Structure 1
């Protein structure tokens, strides 16, 4: 894999979004950005399936539930508006990167994306907020992160999974250990896991992440999700957390804040509850 970097902010700026589409070279699927006629804003679809949503007028408006839960975690784990160093493994429409720029100006962000054409499609159709400091790296998430030897982040967001069809070399204990090794001692890994009703892939990721956290000597695994997915397993997304930040004496206060923030009805499981639910 080759990699490249660029800064996105004032480039390709326009006052409104622009419908665009492109064929992605890695997956050979069509990625398209179209106006969302139902909730407003813009939707990124890949292969005809919506992947991300962006509201250019209100970047803190997060339509997808898992992003709302991730945003709540970022809001509590660090002081308000403190700039962060964040790596996003998987770009999507850069929805969370936009949120971070608006809520924590001055944050230094990097995104690793395997689809070479996707970041340009997104930033040309949906310009990033003014002043965004965003480095774009094209390549495999594991390979490119390994190339960043010695580089540390406050938070790493892993958003590359799609159930049991996910890349096996990323859905593994060894990769989680490598990712955790790029965090500051009080850093945090946030993982979006989408799965089908059987939740077999999710359960496997819980075990892998728990093993990695134990090996790296950091706290884990917390789970944030919709209550219904715990009561009646169905297709959906859950957010897994691990990292030194979770050893904070304030973590129970954070838990209460995550429950209040929703989206509702929300469920937040601590490591013991997570392993009881998914450690099978």
Structure 2
């Protein structure tokens, strides 16, 4: 059994009730954790608020990492209200549509930089802000995909961005190991989320991966959430710095 009773965590990246971050939030709460959730902006709030209510999040805060000061304000509020943080989930990714839908060599410098800033560097920003709140140690978890390691058709720009994210996790895990802070890349199979809908021919990609998965079954957000909850515990400490796969074995097939 996964026990997060008495733990407090931050979940960034819930888009709606069907998102990977929502599945993780439910699993964290089911394991006993108290949560803070964020929403991108007022347009997104009605889609995220039901999840915050479902998990009983006492802190529900706006957070657009592109807006100066918003991420810092989230951690200031956590500091004021809780004074500590035990784990966080970073589940945000973005690339401009025109750069995502072209070959990687044709992506613009501006689009590449935007994708890296939002999808990768924001994880390191969160790690830096969480560090003083994790005096007793903690877990930093981000969401990745197999396209970081192998070429996936139509994944394009997000492949090198996710590869950079996974490398950042390894270096953060090494940087913070002496403070008892772990870091993990949770590499999931494809899930039909709002973010994934931006990838060209995503339904076809899901069908291909399903066919190559040993059990012929795609992973669910509930299964991903259970694994994320485990990574939030001290029991996952020996795995710090790892890419942890939640894809029903797809990554093992040739």
Structure 1-normalised TM-score?
0.46
- Going by fraction, where is helix more abundant, 1 or 2? 2
Question: Larger RCO: Structure 1 or Structure 2 (Cα < 8 Å, ≥ 6 residues apart)?
Answer: 2
Structure 2-normalised TM-score?
0.50
- Going by fraction, where is strand more abundant, 1 or 2? 1
